[in-house]
């Protein structure tokens, strides 16, 4: 079973990225056939500063390795280091029907809001299909909001296979990630870079404390009983604590006599302990830039070896190779 996933370098990874997706990607790496890429070509639709894109891409690689991605188990690479993916994208564009792209969420949402959508946003589901089909991917872990793109990929791959009467592409299946653990941001809404309410994974401790202390809560006093299930601070604590600790804190909420400041301190302590090993690894990796470059180069080499095989099948099928 070959697992494939990509993540866009549009900013530093935050708690929502980790609990919603990254930790589950890493849990699927132990089959020695996993490909994980940093989707810098996709990021071009939103990040227009070249220096910033390079920085985000580099930081993404360091973060993923620090969080447990093992280059002995999975290939990690930059999307832009695989020229085969852009070549396959054009081939797939020639068989992709317009109505599929017009239905895709990102394009529809911008159009509904009256925001101009460029050709990159309109056609990026085809690039995503190329990302997936290029490696004979069997399983693609995605959130609920990304399932549509796997369906588009299957439609495009199936249409190509049908038109050229060959089983060129493996049709992938979606592995829908468990995103039941809501990760609220500092404003209580879903944690998202677009809402500017994130808590980055590797903030220095002082900045992390300041960020956690900025979480919005209601106006109840220390003495007042509080509802833990309505509190974003408690929701964040649950991400790190075991059930006995969760129950204990919930009881203290309901009994009164504890302020939100104390609860925020518990979140800080729990987060520092939970991410402690990753923070240590990240500091070590930052001092080894040559190692990071070697990991990305080896990952790209493995990806290109597989990608060239699949691209050759596609080119042969449609008459582009001699």
CA dist 13 and 1 (Å) reads 27
Q: Per the residue annotation, which of 182, 190, 209, 216 is the catalytic one?
A: 190
Helices 205-213 and 260-274 cross at an angle (nearest 10°) of: 140
Q: What is the DSSP string of 49-71?
A: -HHHHHHHHHHHHHHHHHTT--T
Total length of the chain: 322
Closest by CA position to 139, among listed 46, 25, 236, 218:
25
Task: Decide if 238 is catalytic.
Answer: no
Q: Which letter, b or e, does each residue of 234-243 get, where b requires 16 or more Cβ atoms within 10 Å of its Cβ?
A: bbbbbbbbee
Coil, strand, or helix at residue 291? helix
Which residue is catalytic, options 193, 209, 220, 315?
193
Active site residue 111: no
**Residue whose C-alpha is closest to residue 67's, from 108, 26, 32:** 26
Distance CA 238, CA 247 (A): 10
Q: Known catalytic residue: 193? A: yes
Alpha-carbon span 91 to 81, nearest angstrom: 19
Q: Any idea which residues carry the catalytic annotation?
A: 110, 190, 193
């Amino acid at each position: 079973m070959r697992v494939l996933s990509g993540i866009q370098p549009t900013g530093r990874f935050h708690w929502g990225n980790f609990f919603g997706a990254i930790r589950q990607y890493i849990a699927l790496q132990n089959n020695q056939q996993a490909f994980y890429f940093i989707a810098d070509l996709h990021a071009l639709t939103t990040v227009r500063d070249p220096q910033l894109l390079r920085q985000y891409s580099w930081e993404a690689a360091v973060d993923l390795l620090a969080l447990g991605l093992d280059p002995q188990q999975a290939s990690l690479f930059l999307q832009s280091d695989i020229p085969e993916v852009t070549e396959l994208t054009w081939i797939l564009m020639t068989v992709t029907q317009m109505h599929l792209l017009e239905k895709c969420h990102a394009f529809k949402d911008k159009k509904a809001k009256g925001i101009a959508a460029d050709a990159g946003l309109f056609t990026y589901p085809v690039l995503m299909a190329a990302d997936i089909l290029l490696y004979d991917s069997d399983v693609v872990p995605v959130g609920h909001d990304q399932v549509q793109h796997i369906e588009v990929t299957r439609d495009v791959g199936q249409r190509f296979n049908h038109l050229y009467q060959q089983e060129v592409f493996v049709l992938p299946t979606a592995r829908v990630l468990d995103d039941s653990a809501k990760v609220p941001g500092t404003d209580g809404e879903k944690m998202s870079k677009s809402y500017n309410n994130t808590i980055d994974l590797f903030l220095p401790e002082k900045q992390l404390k300041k960020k956690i202390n900025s979480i919005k809560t209601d106006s109840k006093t220390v003495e007042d009983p509080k509802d833990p299930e309505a509190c974003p601070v408690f929701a964040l604590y649950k991400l790190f604590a075991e059930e006995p600790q969760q129950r204990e804190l919930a009881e203290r909420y309901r009994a009164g006599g504890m302020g939100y400041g104390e609860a925020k301190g518990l979140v800080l302590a729990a987060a520092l302990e939970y991410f402690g090993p990753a923070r240590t690894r990240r500091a070590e990796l930052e001092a080894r830039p040559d190692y990071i470059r070697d990991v990305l180069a080896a990952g790209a080499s493995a990806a290109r070896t597989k990608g060239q095989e699949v691209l050759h099948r596609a080119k042969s099928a449609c008459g582009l190779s001699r």
